[in-house]
């Protein structure tokens, strides 16, 4: 740690120095932190595009955690030595992001202790360690396979450390069950993405890889047996994390002025407002087919429920084939790109994007996600990953899923994950010159933008103002609202599965398969489900403020390009930079 100690010594007198000196000191510190990411996690370093330790697999034992905590403390002390007011506005934001990352990571390791009770931490690391090396061609295949060999050699040690770190009595049963499903996914990466490429290696290197694969298979099998025969029977933890931990985690996840109570009250108010808006649209759809229907001036909730469901049934007539979701998403992604360009809504990046089947080791939490390249991996593809339907589902379960992910819903999903949602926004974000800001992206900014992008496209007439598309879009926004409601209700207030399912199915009009999947996700995660709603609210308020400030000079193209030009920090910082307001705490 001598390097950081020397840097700290140099920083101490800078609080009274010139702004440029303080900025240089902070930028050096930020670069030092980024260069240390491989020391925190070689796997995460690979994922952001730092390939300096692609041959290393994370240490996950007590000594490694102590080392990380010591390093966080040293960086916090070094950051304390820099006077924030002497920094440029951009660096003030980055300094706040660095401090937030240090404090959040320290709390997570020292107090939240997910390493002791969540086996998914280890299944995700093991899968990402290999997948991150072969999914993108950032280096010659021979080099990447050499690093695969090195990491596979370390899997037995990694799993042994994971087993020693986990405390079965603290592990929730749902986490153990999901880990059992995901663990074997590492084998699918080996079989589908590594073995077909082995001919590219010279004989000696191929033999080394084959030996490493054999060791890895044995280690994965041993881990699977331990998960099934030892961890699962002894798993006795409560998946509900409770008010104290939830409030702290939510504060770190949101980095927003909104508290749990604020989120809850806003979500409950929006829940009713959006359902009323859905009724107004559904009434028009219903009246087209049943023009003599009497609609009361003040309908009760039961009447609204029937009309909304009847209108949604019309959307549910447009179903994709069970094996055709990826192909349909590809077509709809191009359709969305064409609309964005035609309407001149935002600068359209030319970064590559591919729609893929979700890797097995990452299934079981969400239906789809956008996996962007790391900010240091320039020119690499973003992956819009879609989970295939489970093979053990009944016909009824498959139909339930397809009704939820009808053609309109897949369209909304593609707007969210692709264009103008995650893919477009993150492509803009990765252009921002501060790598630190790209690495420490804000969940509410990213998810909130994607929800905003869905609604913006519908407002601008996507699909020719089709009322069914607007109704489905509102249903998706209502899903974001119920996500925020159940997130804290489950982990803090003790909401039961039956209560959550009723809210999602009856209140949010979700199909059984979607609601069942969300119940699992809500048990496996905490605080993340609130980011969609909170981020959307903040984006809407920021746009409203820009419209007021810019007046007649406001255009969507100007606003969107500007809002996306600052990377992906919390919305409060983007708003301050966009509208020249004071940088908030």
pLDDT at position 7 over 90: no
CA dihedral 412, 181, 511, 277 (to 10 degrees): -40
- Where do the structural domains in the chain lie, given as residue ranges? 2-112, 120-234, 325-347+394-579
CA angle, residues 236, 241, 245, in degrees to nearest 5: 140
Structure tokens given for 152: 């596979």
For the segment 473-499, the average pLDDT, to the nearest whole number, is 98
Of 359, 514, 331, nearest in space to 418 by CA? 331
Whether the per-residue pLDDT at 519 is higher than 80: the answer is yes
Q: Among residues 211, 64, 194, which one has the least CA distance to residue 129?
A: 194
Rounded to the nearest 10 degrees, how much is the dihedral formed by the CA atoms of 480, 482, 488, 492? -160
Q: What is the mean pLDDT of residues 156-184?
A: 97
- Give the separation between CA 538 and CA 428, rounded to whole angstroms: 19
Which residue is it, tokens 């994390």?
A: 241
pLDDT tens digits along 104-153: 999 999 999 999 999 999 999 999 999 999 999 999 999 999 999 999 99
Is the pLDDT confidence value at 2 over 80? no
| pLDDT, tens digit, 9 for 90 and up, residues 309-333 | 999 999 999 988 888 888 898 999 9
What integer pLDDT is reported at residue 326 of this predicted model?
83
Cβ within 8 Å of residue 508, ≥6 positions away: 475, 478, 479, 481, 482, 515
Residue from 470, 461, 515 nearest 314 by CA: 470
Is residue 563 scored above 90 in pLDDT? yes
Residues 261-273, mean pLDDT to the nearest whole number: 98
**What is the per-residue pLDDT for 467?**
98
Q: What is the mean pLDDT of the chain?
A: 93
- The reported pLDDT for the residue numbered 300 is 97
Poorest-pLDDT segment among 279-283, 324-328, 482-486 = 324-328
What would the pLDDT profile of 74-87 be if each residue is shown by its tens digit?
999 999 999 999 99
What would the two tokens of residue 403 be?
């009704």
pLDDT of residue 19: 53
Q: Collapse the DSSP code of 368 into the 3-class scheme (helix H, G, I; strand E, B; otherwise coil) and give the result.
A: strand
User: Above 80 in pLDDT, residue 501?
Assistant: yes
Dist CA 370 CA 32 (whole Å): 29
Please compute the mean of the pLDDT values over residues 475-504 and round it to a whole number: 98
385 strand-pairing partners: 356, 369
172 pLDDT tier (thresholds 50, 70, 90): very high
pLDDT tens column, 380-437: 889 988 888 888 889 998 888 889 999 999 999 999 999 999 999 999 998 999 999 9
Beta bridge partners of 382: 353
**What is the percentage of the chain residues whose pLDDT exceeds 70?**
96
Regarding beta strands 368-371 and 382-386, do their DSSP bridges make them parallel or antiparallel, or are they unpaired? antiparallel
Q: Cα 514 from chain centroid?
A: 18
Which residues of 278-419 form beta strands (DSSP E)? 353-357, 368-371, 382-386
The per-residue pLDDT for 358 is 84
pLDDT: is 457 or 393 the higher one? Answer: 457
């Amino acid at each position: 740690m001598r390097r950081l100690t020397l840097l700290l010594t140099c920083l101490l007198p800078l609080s009274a120095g010139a702004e440029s000196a303080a900025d240089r000191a902070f930028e050096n510190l930020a670069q030092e932190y980024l260069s240390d990411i491989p020391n925190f996690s070689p796997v995460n370093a690979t994922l952001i595009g730092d390939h300096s330790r692609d041959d290393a697999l994370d240490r996950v034992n007590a000594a490694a955690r102590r080392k990380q905590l010591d390093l966080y403390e040293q960086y916090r002390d070094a950051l304390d030595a820099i006077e924030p007011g002497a920094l440029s506005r951009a660096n003030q934001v980055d300094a706040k992001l660095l401090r937030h990352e240090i404090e959040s990571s320290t709390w997570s390791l020292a107090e939240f202790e997910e390493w002791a009770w969540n086996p998914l931490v280890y299944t995700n690391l093991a899968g990402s360690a290999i997948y991150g090396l072969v999914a993108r061609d950032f280096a010659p295949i021979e080099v990447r396979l050499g690093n695969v060999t090195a990491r596979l050699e370390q899997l037995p040690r990694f799993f042994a450390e994971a087993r020693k770190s986990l405390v079965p009595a603290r592990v929730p049963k749902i986490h153990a069950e999901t880990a059992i499903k995901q663990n074997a996914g590492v084998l699918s990466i080996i079989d589908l993405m590594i073995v077909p490429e082995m001919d590219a290696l010279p004989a000696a290197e191929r033999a080394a890889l084959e030996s490493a694969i054999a060791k890895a298979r044995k280690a994965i099998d041993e881990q699977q047996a331990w998960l099934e025969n030892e961890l699962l029977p002894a798993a006795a933890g409560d998946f509900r994390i409770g008010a104290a931990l939830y409030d702290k985690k939510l504060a770190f996840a949101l980095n927003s002025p909104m508290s749990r109570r604020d989120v809850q009250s806003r979500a409950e108010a929006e829940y009713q407002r959006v359902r009323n808006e859905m009724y107004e649209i559904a009434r028009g759809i219903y009246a087209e087919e049943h023009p003599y229907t009497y609609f009361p001036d003040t309908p009760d909730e039961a009447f609204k429920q029937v009309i909304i469901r009847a209108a949604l049934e019309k959307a549910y007539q447009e179903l994709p084939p069970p094996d055709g979701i990826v192909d349909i998403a590809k077509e709809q992604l191009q359709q969305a790109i064409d609309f964005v360009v035609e309407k001149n809504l935002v600068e359209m990046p030319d970064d590559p994007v591919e729609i893929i089947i979700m890797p097995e080791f990452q299934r079981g939490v969400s239906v789809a996600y956008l996996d962007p390249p790391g900010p240091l991996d320039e020119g690499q593809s973003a992956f819009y990953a879609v989970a295939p339907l489970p093979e053990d589902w009944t016909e009824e379960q498959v139909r339930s899923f397809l009704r939820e992910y009808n053609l309109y819903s897949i369209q909304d999903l593609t707007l969210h994950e692709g264009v103008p949602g995650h893919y477009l926004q993150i492509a803009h974000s990765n252009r921002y010159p501060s790598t630190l800001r790209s690495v420490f992206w804000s969940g509410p900014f990213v998810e909130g933008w994607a929800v905003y992008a869905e609604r913006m496209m519908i407002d601008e007439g996507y699909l020719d103002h089709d009322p069914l598309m607007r109704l489905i879009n509102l249903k998706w926004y209502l899903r974001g609202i119920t996500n925020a409601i159940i997130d804290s209700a489950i982990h803090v207030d003790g909401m039961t599965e039956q209560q959550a399912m009723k809210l999602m199915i009856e209140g949010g009009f979700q199909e059984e398969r979607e609601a069942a999947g969300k119940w699992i996700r809500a048990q496996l995660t905490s605080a993340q489900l609130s980011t969609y709603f909170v981020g959307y609210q903040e984006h809407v308020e920021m746009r409203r403020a820009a419209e007021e400030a810019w007046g007649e000079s406001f255009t969507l193209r100007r606003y969107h390009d500007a809002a996306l030009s600052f990377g992906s920090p919390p919305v409060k910082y983007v708003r301050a930079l966009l509208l020249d307001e004071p940088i908030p705490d």
